[in-house]
Structure 1
Amino acid sequence: MKQITTRYLDGEIRVYRILRNVDGLLQPLAIYPVQSTNKIMNHTATHGPSRAAYTTRHSVACIGLGGTLLWTYNLEPRSTRRHGHIPSCMFSHDGDLLWIYRPDMMADRGPDLLVVLRVDNGEVIATAELDTSGHSAQFMQHPDGQHILFNVGEGQDGARIFRVKLSGSTINLHPYEWDDRCLIDLTLDGQLLMTVDHGQADVSFHSVASGEVMLSVPVTAFEPQSDGLSVDWSGGFLGSDLAIVTIMGETDGQEWYHFHKVDLRTGTPMGRFESHSRDVYDFEPLGDGTWITSDSAGNPVRHRIG
C-alpha cells in the first residue's frame, strides 16, 4: 500500500502518513516550508520523512525538515519559454535517489531527458535521452522497489509510457508500444496498469510486464443512453479486482462527471461510485479499498468502501 501522500499548501510541502486503519482527515507527519519566489510546479517527499524536493521551470531543489535548502539542480541552459514545460520529480522507494523528467524539447534546450540524482549531494549518476516532446510527466513507483513507471504527456500528439530501472550508472529504458494511451494507475501487486485512450474513447488494463491488453471497456458501456461522452484521465484501482473509471459529459451546456466501478474479473461496469471528491482529479485510490480526496482547505481525507 502507498505509504504517504503529499500536498503543497500555504507555501509548505506537507507529508501525510497513510496508516492501515486510520480514516478521515489525515494529520501531517512532516512539514517542509518552501523558500522560493518561483512557482512550484511539482513536489515529492521521502517516506522517512527526511527530504522533500520540488521543481520550478528552471530548477529542482532538495530540502530538509525545516525547509533548509540542501542542494539545487539547475535546468540549464535557462529556458526563455514561459509555458509548456513542467519538470517533474520523484524519490526512489528507499529515498536514496531522485528521478527527474526534463521537458527540454519544449523548453528549447534539446532532447527530453530522464535524470537520476544522488539525494545526499545532488550528484548526477545517470541520464537517458528520450524520444519525446513532452509538456510534463507523471511518475509511479513499482512495488518491487526497483522499477519506475512514468507517463510523458505530449499534448495533442498523445502520450508515451515507459518502464525504467537503474542498473549502476545506466538507466534501462523500456518504452511501451503505444503513443496514444495515458497512464492512470498501477495495482498494489504491480501486475496491472490502467490506461485511458488519448482520444478518451476507452479504458484498458494491461500486463505491466508485456503491455498486453487484458481488458478494454469502451465509453459506451458506462452510460449508453447518453451521447458525447468521454473517459477522463482520472480514476484508478480500488482493489486488485475493482477499478474506478471517470466518465465525462455535458447536459444543457453544463459539464459533469461520474465515477463508475468496473469488475476486473468480468470486465463489467457495476454502476456509479460516490467518491466525495471536490472535482474530477480530486481522487487518489490506494488500492486497498480506500481512497483520498481533499476537504475545502485542500487537506487530505481518507475514505473506505462500506
Structure 2
Amino acid sequence: MAWFKRDRAGINTATENKKEAPDGLWNKCPSCKKPLLKSEQIENKYVCQYCGYHLRIGSAEYFSVLFDDNHFTELFGNLRSGDPLNFEDTKKYTERIAESYAKTGLNDAIRCGHGKIEGLDTVIACMDFTFIGGSMGSVVGEKIARSIDYCIKHKFPFLLISKSGGARMMEAAFSLMQMAKTSAKLALLSQAKIPYISLLTDPTTGGVTASYAMLGDINIAEPGSLIGFAGPRVIKETIKKDLPKGFQTAEFVLEHGFLDFIVDRREMKHKIATFLKNIQ
C-alpha cells in the first residue's frame, strides 16, 4: 500500500521555500520535440543537438555567432518608422509599432553593425522576424541603403541576413519602393567591387526574396529554411496543381539553381570568413 501513499519523510523542503525554474531556461525543439537547455543552445549556435534543426533566432543571436567576441558597433540604430499613410485597419499602425517597440526592444525589423569576422572588417545587416514578422518597410530599406553607403566609403564587405514575411502592407507603396531602392544600392556596391554575401534564413519570402535576398555575389542559406515569393497555398490555388515534395525549402531551391550553398550555422562564421578571403 506504500505505493499509493506519499512518503512525507522524503520531503525536506517546505512548499513556501521551493523555487520555480527560471523562464527561458529550457526550450523544446520544434522538430524533434526534445527539451533543450538554454546554455546548450548557445554553445551549439542555436542548433538542436539531437536532430540538427536550426532554431529561429534574431539579430542579437546572429551577431553573437558571427562577430568576433560579439564585439561590434551598431549603425543607424535610432531610425524608426513613421505613419505616412495614416494606416488604420483593426488597429492603427502607430499602435502596432509601439507594441512592437515594447515587446521586442527593437526600433524596427533590422539591425546593422560593423565588426570583425575572423579578423576581417565586415558590416552585417540582420533582420528580426519578431518585429512585425520581419516585414520590409521604409526603415528596413533605409538602413540597408545606409549600410551599403558605409561599406562603399570604408571598403568593407557586406553581409545581409534575411528573415522576413515580405513587404509591410501598412506602408503600401513606400514599402514596395524599398525593393528598387536596395537593389540600386547593391548595384553601386557591385560597381565598387565590394563583396556582398546574402544569407537566407527561415523564412525568407515576398518582396525580400524578390529583391536584395537573391542579389548576393554569393547566396547561401541555412538548412531547412523556407524560401519563396508567394506562399505554397497561393501557388497551388493559382496553378491548380500539387506542389513537389519539399517545395520552397532551401534544399529544393539549391537543387534548382537559386542558391550557391547551404551552410550549417555551426560552420557559418568560418565559411563566411573563407568566402571573404577568397573574393576580396
Scaled by the length of structure 1, the TM-score of the pair is 0.28
Which has more strand, going by share of residues? 1
Which has more helix, going by share of residues? 2
Which has the higher relative contact order, 1 or 2, with Cα contacts under 8 A spaced 6 or more apart? 2
